[in-house]
Amino acid sequence: MLSHSFRVTPGFSFQRIFICQACIRQARSQQQLTAIKPSSLFQRHLLHTSTTPEDILPFRKQLKDEAKRKWLEGNYKVSKKNFKGRDPRLEKWELTVGIEIHAELNTARKLFSSAATSSSDVPNTRVALFDVAFPGAQPHFQRETLIPALRAAIALHCEIQPRSSFDRKHYFYQDQPAGYQITQYYEPFAKDGHITLYDHDGIAPEDGESITIGIKQIQMEQDTAKTIQQPPSTHLLDFNRVSHPLIEIITLPHIHHASTAAACVRKIQSILKTVNAVTTGMEMGGLRADVNVSVRERQRLPEAGPGKSYYGVTGLGQRTEIKNLSSFKAVEDAIIAERDRQIDVLEAGGVIEGETRGWTLGSTETRKLRGKEGEIDYRYMPDPDLEPVIIGEDIIQHLRECLPMLPDDITNMLVQSSEYGLTIKDAKTLIALNDGDRLEYYLDIVEILGKEFSENAQSLEKVGKIANNWVLHELGGLFATAERDWSHTTVPPEKLASIILHLIQRHITGRTAKLLLSTIFYGDSRSVKQIIEDENMTLRPMSREEYLSFAQELLDENLGMANAIKEKRQHGKVMWFVGQMVRRGDEGRVEAEKAEQILRELLGVTR
């Protein structure tokens, strides 16, 4: 039995510097913008003590504002068919998409050297001789990097190959010091997998309730250096990232809608995170997607030829590749833009060129980067310095048995089990939030409450839904309002479970429960029971006569709204009265359910 331990280190990150707009305007007025260095511009910004936060615009907002300005000025035309509605031309043309996903594996060491994978340190401090192609340095395959790769392949239903090997992919670029990248081209370690997407995953309605997308192969390969551009012509290289272990997941061209492609990337990321195969997702730069896009006529004429083929899929159009998409929205928007461009070219009698294209945030068109390289351009060859990788069946079986529940299984458990009884939307939200930490927190609370109500089946069925509301909405709302990152220690699960328990047992009101949660969230270290006792929060039930008197007094004060409920059947306004009774009543006395019952009785309104 193999035992491996991994040290997870944060990914490389840079602080964003927002430059004072006043500095930029001043520099432009002096015609000096191109001569000003970012550092000096930033220093000048610090001198503007009167600058307000409104003068500082994030780069993404600048892009959006620029796009909006161009729209209003009519400098370019964005057709409604691009992003909204359905393009009628799609009755004639069919989109086909294949995806290549590059994900950074969660390992402590690099793929071919013993250097640490941490890239958050000072640039060029986590580098081995092989990483910088020092003459005579040899690659040494780090076997433990294979473990998270195997977990990913098993989760994606791939066939693990007992023998795989590494190859050299030659190209000359500044971020590849050796002049070639080591990858698995001829003999990858995993092949012939698949992933199934459902309607609740966000696939296109045209794909029905589900669609299965084939995975051609998963291969291991090394990452390149990080390039830091300093305009106009300086490029700094950080070799900390060189030889970071990656997996490349290559899907088959089974996708015919942009939203389905985005859903595919989103779900693969969720699976990789669930099995702890990757460091981070797209949002933190740990995963990137390249998409291969082509269009073809749905009814091809015989003289048009059979089209191109790929791994058993025939009749394809000429594809173009869009590189380095870093968000799910970018995947969807770039595919739509390239689809429409190709249709425009073909309907104008043109020919689609095989090429690599790029996509920029805020754009509506892809742009050509270079002609598309082929196998002959890369001059693939087996790496003579690396032996084949032999994977034993015992390791595969062990990892398969130890694999955690996958997102689909977790979703089914949360939705179908009477213990939880969640909606699909809430279940998927819990799974997606905070890399699974929110889900673990929720499950801990349900487990605690389940023990309390183990002999009360009626209350036990409510526990899952009530706990979900408090974890997602009440506690989640506090984190959002305070603009703080999620942490399960801010309100320990035992304390939130105790609040919910007191509420279900009607020891406190709903309003008191929210006040308790807020008190603990903002630092009160007392136990829930102690706070209730110290602050006299225990529910002191009102009599029916007190409810009737209080409700009637409130209705008399607001006759117009009361008449609107009775005569115009504006029943939604009943809850406004409920809220007023809860707020104006003594703390720990008015129960919202009873207040609503009494109000409906007085107004003659049924549910």
Q: Which of 523, 525, 463, 530 is nearest to 497 (CA)?
A: 463
Note the pLDDT of residue 565.
Answer: 81
Note the pLDDT of residue 580.
Answer: 84
Sign of CA dihedral 347, 348, 354, 358: negative
- Residues in the chain, overall count: 607
Angle between helices 437-452 and 457-469 (to 10 degrees): 150
Note the pLDDT of residue 406.
Answer: 93
HEC readout, 487-546: CCCCCCHHHHHHHHHHHHCCCCCHHHHHHHHHHHHCCCCCCHHHHHHHCCCCCCCCCHHH
Note the pLDDT of residue 181.
Answer: 94
Start-to-end CA span in the chain (Å): 62
Q: Which of 220, 254, 61 is nearest to 142 (CA)?
A: 220
The answer to whether the CB of 587 falls within 8 A of the CB of 580 is: no
**Residues 6 or more apart from 362 whose CB is under 8 A from it?**
63, 64, 66, 67
Q: Report how far residue 440's alpha carbon sits from residue 438's, in angstroms, rounded to the nearest whole number.
A: 5
The answer to whether the CB of 263 falls within 8 A of the CB of 201 is: yes
pLDDT tens figures, 252-265: 999 999 999 999 99
Tokens matching residue 271? 């699976």
What dihedral do alpha carbons 196, 201, 204, 210 form, nearest 10°? 30
Fill in the DSSP letter of residue 472: I
pLDDT < 50: residue spans in the chain: 1-56, 73-84, 301-303
Q: Report how far residue 560's alpha carbon sits from residue 233's, in angstroms, rounded to the nearest whole number.
A: 71
Measured CA to CA in angstroms, residue 502 lies from 96, 418, 453, 458, 508 at distances of 55, 22, 12, 16, 6
If phi over 0 gives left and psi between -120 and 50 gives alpha, with beta otherwise, what is residue 2? beta
The residue ranges of every structural domain in the chain are 82-382, 406-534, 544-603
Tokens matching residue 229? 């551009």
Q: Which of 466, 588, 480, 478 is nearest to 523 (CA)?
A: 478
